[in-house]
Amino acid sequence: MRGGLPLALASLWLSTGVTARAQPPLVVKPGSLSPLLAEATDVGRAPATEQHKVVIGLGLRNRQDLEAFLIDVQDPSSPNYRRFLSQEAFNALYSPTVADEEALISYLLAKGFRIVERYPNRLLVGGVGTVAAIERAFSVEIHTVMRAGQRHYAAVNEPSLPGELAPVVVGAIGLDDLNEMHPHVQVSGEPHAALGSNCCHLSPNDVAAFYDNTAGDDGTGQTIVIAGAFAWRDSDNASFSSQWGLPPLPAGSGQICTGSVGASGCQFSTADSIEAALDAEYAHGTAPGARILNYMAASSSFSDFTPMYNRIVTDDPGNVVTTSWGACEAGLPLSLQQIDDDIFANGNAVGQSWFAASGDSGSRDCKRILTVDHPSNSPHVTGVGGTTPTCSGGMTPSSPGCAGYGSESGWSGSGGGISQVFARPAFQTGCGVPPGSQRLVPDVALEANPSPGNYVLEGGVWYLVGGTSDAAPQWAGFFADLGHRVGGTGLGNPGAVLYGLCGTAAFHDITSGSNGAYSAGPGYDLVTGLGTIEAKNFLALTAPSTTTTTRPVTTTTSTVPSLVRCGDVDGDGSVNVGDALIVAQFDLGLRQCGQIPFTHPQVCDVNRDGACNIGDALRIAQCDVGLISCTFNCNPFMCPCPNRHRSFCTKDTFVTTSRRVEVKFEALDPSLFSSRLPTSVATRETTERKKCEEGDLNPTRRPKR
């Protein structure tokens, strides 16, 4: 940083100021200072009355145990295979404590902050304060600086916190605005696409032909969440689908603003909505049956993007998430990346699969130095690189459609390399993965070169676009297709599945092309990762079609009797509220498994989550009153050992899996259940849940529903 008060002098001034006021000892929290500060010119102290939003990240508890669980839950030989946590169980096991969150909030309020964001997982606390309040709270100096001809603000020293708070805080986001998130979309120099003869660029139909997406799985029952900024136009989605013969977006698709009403990042923008249009249109093209939800950050600032990520995790609106926004690892504060990674780990634990574009600047994501892109560098996110596709035929004026797969080479813009922030995940091994201990990017790839480019409709105008932001939402679509095939219970971190398929017919191994410092070659490489998908083979190898149904908690298969309808647990020939009542009573410990009238427990698991519980009762009741279809496809359920089906917390008392019974049944006609369920359920749940969160009871894992 050039000019102004030297950092050493600033630090000395702050330390002497603290001594003079006899404040409690402070602990410096490294990792929140922007690496871009060195490129800025200091023009003096920022006005004390300026207001800024700061987001503080609280660290996960029991992080090693969490990582062990995330490996275990992806191991087909484990009894915990794909038995993901509920968010409540995650909070009890791994989230910061209520006391730590409250201590941080009290501290910020005392320093003059206004608290604007809190979350169920307690990973983030957002506050707005003046420059004076920020300086008091974090013992920093905020200066006005100039970078690339633009005015910014920035802390010139790392923050410090009281000794009792410092150990539980990861860092602070928003102590500067020197950098922001960027979309990884490449718009062709040709301003508008010449649709006319559909030549010679890619539509969703061409991509489907190229990658053999012909298995028939279309993502029905799944939800793909777009994590980004700016809104789409419904008319664009409708016209795009009509143009290429796709169905409309399924019911329930929509857009969610994670900021205040009227936030710029939640509006349609002719200049900025091209990314949202691309993500929605090609996620839909790959998985036409999946709902699409566009979660929009209030702005492209880090202090708005990180809360948006966390909203997606704590709302848990869908099992598959795609983001095409990022920033280079070397230009970001370390603590910001660690805070985001904690959020993504939470997402994996509840069954979410995250995909992120790996960047469009090749191996030099910061233009000058070898680095990778965030968040694709997170080991809890699948990084998606790019290729240049060549069809086996067509793509000419006389035959404009893509005839099928010809070949691919690594695209020069495909972001890839070695992370200097994150360690290598356990799944990233074998199949030509080079030796080392650091995270490698990307994991997989897909067509991304703006030439030939993809048709995108934004603001009623057709464009030709490319970039890894074209590849990421399509990979999310393929995983939605996979979720459709396996039953829609969530797949979590895709890493173990993807690397387990390396060298099989599930992938096209890309062996040519370069992104600058790295070249594509046999097996894994730092340009295209494991390669691109051969969709039909991928789905067949990851979820073979079979007439048997497998419980996720065992390695054996068993067949649900065809003479008993799924959900008809009393065997009377119909699926109705009587069956729902039996399942609810069983979950509460009021009825024994396999005894009259609970004569067919094997058809109880209509949720296909490996358990028989209140979630199944709810769906059965909903079907009986006409809210959903009564045509279920259930996993076989076997009666457990006594009491074990009930346990959520262990010790002398239990919290049953009916934790949401009161809220969920209120969505139906209360008279259906009010006379049949114990009135003490809500009281017992509240009391024992409180014990569980306070540490009196030890939560154990259970299937996500």
pLDDT reported for residue 647: 31
Alpha-carbon dihedral 426, 430, 434, 436, rounded to 10 degrees? 30
- At 627 the pLDDT is 76
pLDDT tens readout for residues 212-262: 999 999 999 999 999 999 999 999 999 999 999 999 999 999 999 999 989
Q: How many CB atoms lie within 10 A of CB 317?
A: 19
Q: What percent of the chain has pLDDT over 90?
A: 69
Residue 691 has pLDDT above 60, yes or no: no
Q: What is the average pLDDT value for the chain, to the nearest integer?
A: 85
What average pLDDT score do residues 20-37 get?
85
Closest CA to 313 of 326, 323, 324: 323
Peptide bond into 191 cis (omega under 30): no
pLDDT in tens, 581-609: 899 888 888 888 877 888 888 889 888 77
Task: Using DSSP, state whether 155 is helix, strand or coil.
Answer: strand
Taking the CA atoms of 248, 253, 254 and 255 in sequence, report the sign of the dihedral they define.
Answer: negative
Is 50 exceeded by the pLDDT of residue 379? yes
Dihedral through CA 541, CA 616, CA 666, CA 121, nearest 10? -50
pLDDT in the model for residue 545: 53
Q: Which amino acid is at 2?
A: R
Q: What mean pLDDT is predicted for residues 394-416? A: 94
pLDDT beyond 80 at 531: yes
Most confidently modeled range among 115-129, 180-194, 565-579, 615-629: 115-129
Is residue 20 scored above 90 in pLDDT?
no
How would CATH label the architecture of 182-542? Answer: 3-Layer(aba) Sandwich (3.40)
Measure CA of the first residue to CA of the last residue in the chain; give whole Å. 51
The string of pLDDT tens digits covering residues 499-515 is: 999 999 999 999 999 99
**Between 677 and 179, whose confidence is greater?**
179
Question: Is residue 16's pLDDT more than 50?
Answer: no
Are the beta carbons of 568 and 482 closer than 8 angstroms?
Answer: no
pLDDT at 206 over 80: yes
Contact between residue 359 and residue 332 where contact means Cβ atoms under 8 Å apart:
no
Per cent of the chain over pLDDT 70 is 83
DSSP 8-state class, residue 521: -
Distance CA 107, CA 430 (A): 48
C-alpha torsion sign, points 340, 342, 345, 351: negative
pLDDT for 22 equals 53
Q: For residue 364, give the DSSP letter.
A: B
Sign of CA dihedral 272, 275, 280, 282: positive
Answer yes or no: is pLDDT of 2 > 80.
no
Contact 100, 168 (CB under 8 A): yes
Q: What pLDDT does residue 33 have?
A: 97
Q: Which helix (H) or strand (E) holds 240?
A: helix 234-243
Q: Which residue has the higher pLDDT, 101 or 672?
A: 101
User: C-alpha distances in angstroms, 466 versus 67, 80, 413, 430, 446?
Assistant: 35, 40, 10, 31, 11
Closest alpha carbon to 367 in 375, 359, 378? 359
Going by their DSSP bridges, the two strands 438-441 and 417-423 should be labelled as antiparallel
Cα separation, 158 vs 471, in Å, equals 37
Q: Are 344 and 380 in contact (CB under 8 A)?
A: yes
Contact 497, 491 (CB under 8 A): yes
Model pLDDT for residues 41-63, shown as the tens digit of each residue = 999 999 999 999 999 999 999 99
Ranking 96-100, 404-408, 588-592 by mean pLDDT, the lowest is 588-592
Kindly indicate the confidence band of residue 629, based on its pLDDT and cuts at 50, 70 and 90.
confident
pLDDT at 231: 98
The encoded tokens of residue 147 equal 């970078």
Nearest C-alpha neighbor of 400 from the set 570, 252, 205, 214: 205
Q: Can you tell me the mean pLDDT for 396-421?
A: 95
pLDDT at 194: 59
Predicted confidence (pLDDT) per residue in 256-306, tens digit: 999 998 999 999 999 999 999 999 999 999 999 999 999 999 999 999 999
φ, ψ of residue 673 in degrees (nearest 5) = -125, -15
Matching residue, tokens 């983001």: 323
Helices first, then strands: H and E counts in the chain: 17, 31
Q: What pLDDT is stored for residue 602 in this prediction?
A: 82
Do 645 and 612 form a contact (C-beta atoms < 8 A)?
A: yes
Contact 636, 571 (CB under 8 A): no
- The band of 671, judged by pLDDT with boundaries at 50, 70 and 90, is very low
Closest CA to 380 of 470, 318, 447, 441: 441
The pLDDT confidence band at residue 190, using thresholds 50, 70 and 90, is low
Confidence grade of residue 373 (pLDDT, cut at 50, 70, 90): very high
Among 296, 469, 451, CA closest to 373: 469
On whether the CB atoms of residues 299 and 264 are closer than 8 A, the answer is yes
Joined tokens for residue 635: 């996993």
The residues, any chain, with a CB within 8 Å of residue 262's CB and separated by 6 or more, are none
Cα gap 446→527, rounded to integer Å = 11
pLDDT for res 634: 72
Question: Which secondary structure element, helix H or strand E, spans residue 409, and what is its range?
Answer: strand 405-410
The model's pLDDT over 479-496, given as tens digits with 9 standing for 90+, comes to: 999 999 998 679 999 999
Higher pLDDT, 345 or 24: 345
- The pLDDT, as a whole number, for residue 3 is 46
For 276-325, the three-class secondary structure string (H helix, E strand, C coil) is: HHHHHHHHHHHCCCCEEEEEECCCCCHHHHHHHHHHHHHHCCCCEEEECE
What's this model's pTM, rounded to 2 decimal places? Answer: 0.77
List the structure tokens of 473. 């939402």
The 3-state secondary structure of 478-506 reads: HHHHHHHHHCCCCCCCCHHHHHHCCCCCC
**Residue range 123-147, pLDDT digits in tens:** 999 999 999 999 999 999 999 999 9
pLDDT range class, residue 674, cuts 50, 70, 90? very low
Write down the pLDDT at residue 38: 94
**Per-residue confidence at 326, pLDDT binned at 50, 70, 90?**
very high
**pLDDT score of 645:** 31
Task: For the beta carbon of residue 631, count every other beta carbon within 10 angstroms.
Answer: 10
Mean pLDDT (whole number) for 151-155 = 98
CA pair distance 178, 175, nearest whole angstrom: 9
Name the nearest CA neighbour of 380 among 415, 411, 419: 419
- As a whole number of angstroms, the distance between CA 661 and CA 617 comes to 10
SS3 of 76-141: the string is CCCCCCCCCCCHHHHHHHHCCCHHHHHHHHHHHHHCCCEEEEECCCCCEEEEEEEHHHHHHHHCCC
- Lowest-pLDDT range of 300-304, 428-432, 446-450, 671-675: 671-675
What's phi and psi for 172, nearest 5 deg? -120, 135
Residue 469: the pLDDT is 97
Tokens 């698709």 -> residue: 253
For 348, half-sphere exposure in the C-beta direction (CA atoms, 13 angstrom radius) is 28
Contacts for 73-82 with beta carbons within 8 Å, 24 or more apart?
73/349, 73/492, 74/427, 74/492, 74/493, 74/495, 74/496, 74/497, 75/496, 76/555, 77/555, 79/553, 79/554, 80/553, 80/701, 81/552, 81/553, 82/351, 82/489, 82/490, 82/491, 82/492, 82/552, 82/610
Residue 207 predicted with pLDDT over 90: yes
- 263 vs 194, more confident: 263
Tell me which amino acid residue 166 is: A
pLDDT at 623: 82
CB 627 within 8 A of CB 668: yes
Residues of the chain with CATH 3.40.50.200: 182-542
In the block, tokens 């409708």 appear at 238
